[in-house]
A and B are shown apart, each in its own frame.
Chain A
Amino acid sequence: MSAVRQDVVALRRSAPAISPARRLTNALMGGLISLGTLLVVAPLILIFYYLLTTGLQALSPEFFTQTPAPLGETGGGLKNAIIGSITMLSMASVIGILVGVAGGIFLSEYPKHPLMPTIRMLSDVLAGIPAIVMGLVVYGLLVLRFGFSGMAGAIALGFLMIPIVVRTTEETLKLVPRATREAGLALGLPRWKVILQIVLPAAAGGIVTGIMLALARVAGEAAPLLFTAFGNNTVTTNLTEPMSALPVEIFKLATSAYETDRQLAQAASLVLILLILITSLLARYFSSPRKYRAK
């Protein structure tokens, strides 16, 4: 026993301390990581500072109530773009929600269907297609035949929403416990009623979050609208006519030579960002765990 103890004591004494090099690396990496984080958040703070200082000035009641002033004149607003954005986003949501939620239900509730892996793959791939390419596709599909229209723009945005909604819907539906479904089936309810009346409501919070996130994402897109909705200086809610949108106007105004145009672009950016922020805050609200448990 005592020999063993001696061994143990000997071992103990031999344990080396941590080398200064290891300590130094540790401290250095800690510093670099903090610095890196600072660099990541810096642009956001700078952009918000820029928009708040410049955009707020340019924001006036006319911004919301008037259409752009004729070339060379000052003043005017972007009522046409605001109405256009709202109209097209509403239509896009119809497409995105219909196909997206159905796709999510398909992937989550019919996992054994032979088409399931294909649809899942295509949906994931679709999520990676650049927005501008989606604009070209819709241009070929619709604009070549029927001309520029708000409908074409809404369809392009809707296509972009679909994969985001599919993914979040699938993920939230999968969180609904199996037991919940079985409880419904055991009551003698047909499967579709179980899905529509029990599973979907249980997952509603997460699905709404997905829809809001998808909306926030496409609300800022101008690329898919350039060759589909095109833009329009008059206010319209008629989806068969060309239509304007906030991001499209920002794109056009930002590259303009006139100082007043640039101010309008800054105001529009501020409004657009605030709209997107509100949407994603709402999305957060719907997905908050408190909400979940209440269901």
Chain B
Amino acid sequence: MTPILVAKDVDIFYGDFHAIKKVSLNAEIGTVNALIGPSGCGKTTFLRSLNRMHDLTPGARVEGTIQVDGQDIYGPGVDPVAMRRRIGMVFQKPNPFPTMSVLDNTVAGLKLAGVRDKNQLMAVAERSLRGAALWDEVKDRLHMPGMGLSGGQQQRLCIARALAVEPDVLLMDEPTSALDPASTAKIEELMSELKKVTTILIVTHNMQQAARISDTCSVFLNGDMIEHGPTEQIFQHPQDKRTEDYVSGRFG
């Protein structure tokens, strides 16, 4: 097995507050990895360290090593901009760019990289929108504002936007928490397709969702990762009492 993402002894601080304590995690290529745990335990904090989003948060500090494809993303000489291009992110709230059309939203990352060829852009847009299971719904209104779509469609547009740059790793922070059950089901279905082309780390509060879609599962509590393993094991035979309590809904 070749892990594409290796996080080792990661500590994250907000000022003096120690939000993540010595967390290590490996993610294999082509898998879906769920991060679960009660609110405020540090899932978002950890996820955002994986594409150096904390560089933008004043006062936040990340220690330890995180390697993507063998390269230390916090290493000297690493350009966070180039690095982020290989690690996509989907946010909790759908956030299409309001001044761009559906098409422009989808290929925004490619345009940044300097791709100007109309045909290529169109081809990538179609592939990404199909990949995000949105193509059939928007193919007739590619030039309409991205904001004109429904919430569920907007979120799939954001997934398409992240897919268009063909990231090695896709980070998703509660991507379905703002969506209705039908849109959620669509996006869950997507995951099993998406992992054929990328590796997914997903934060979720929904135990069934984690059980349904993920291959591995990491349980966070108060900044610690208390358990990590194959999803089946976490849900069927948890090693840690606290994990058992959490997945069975006894606290959180």
Q: Tell me the complex Cα distance, A8–B200, Å.
A: 12
Which of B29, B114, B197, B198 is in CB contact (< 8 Å) with A19?
A: B114
Residue contact B114 to A8, C-beta cutoff 8 Å? no
Q: A15-B86, A19-B114 are in contact. Are A4 and B30 (CB under 8 A)?
A: yes
Contact-residue bracket for chain B = 20 to 34
Quote the shortest CB–CB distance from B117 to chain A (angstroms).
Answer: 14
Chain B positions within 8 Å of A5 at CB level: 2, 29-30
Of the candidate stretches B19-27, B77-85, B99-107, the one touching chain A is B77-85
**In-complex Cβ contact of B81 among A11, A16, A18 (8 A):** A18
Alpha-carbon distance between A14 and B86 when the two chains are bound, in angstroms: 10
Across the interface, which residues of A come within 8 angstroms of B55, CB to CB? Answer: none
A1 and B114 in contact, given A17-B82, A18-B81 (Cβ under 8 angstroms): no
B196 to A4, Cβ gap below 8 A?
Answer: yes
Given the known inter-chain contacts A15-B86, A19-B114, A22-B114, please indicate yes or no for A8 contacting B79, CB distance below 8 A. Answer: no
B185 in contact (CB, < 8 A): no
**Chain B contact residues, majority secondary structure:** loop
Contacts of A17 in B (CB 8 A): 79, 82
Asked if B113 is at the interface (CB within 8 A of a chain A CB), the reply is yes
Chain A residues in 8 Å Cβ range of B82 = 17-18
Interface residues of B in 68-91 (CB under 8 A from A): 69, 79, 81-82, 85-86
Tell whether A73 is near chain B: CB-to-CB under 8 Å.
no
In the complex, the answer to whether A8 meets B85 with C-beta atoms within 8 Å is no
* Any B CB within 8 A of the CB of A112: no
Chain B nearest CB from A286 CB (Å) reads: 28
Q: A8-B198, A15-B86, A22-B114 are in contact. Are A1 and B166 (CB under 8 A)?
A: no
- Is B126 an interface residue, CB under 8 A from the partner? no
Judge whether B11 is part of the interface by a CB distance below 8 angstroms: no
Residue numbers in B under 8 Å from A22 (CB-CB): 112, 114
CB-based nearest B residue for A13: B69
Q: Which residue of B lies closest to A15 (CB)?
A: B86
- Kindly report which residue of chain A lies nearest to residue B86, judged by CB atoms: A15
Q: Which of A8, A11, A16 has the most CB of B within 10 A?
A: A8
On whether A11 and B114 interact (CB within 8 A), knowing A5-B2, A17-B82, the answer reads: no
A293 is an interface residue with CB less than 8 A from chain B: no
Contact residue among B81, B113, B168 (Cβ-Cβ distance under 8 Å from A8): B168
Q: Which of chain B's residues has its CB closest to A7's CB?
A: B197
How many Å lie between the Cα of A16 and that of B114 in the bound state?
Answer: 10
Instruction: Tell me the B135-187 residues at the A interface (CB within 8 Å).
Output: 165-166, 168
Q: Give A11's nearest chain B residue, CB to CB.
A: B166
Q: B85 and A15: CB pair below 8 A? A: yes
Asked whether, in the complex, the Cβ of A8 is within 8 Å of the Cβ of B86, the reply is no
Q: A4-B196, A5-B29, A8-B198 are in contact. Are A15 and B166 (CB under 8 A)?
A: yes
A1-48 residues with Cβ-Cβ distance < 8 A to B are 1, 4-5, 7-9, 11-12, 14-19, 22
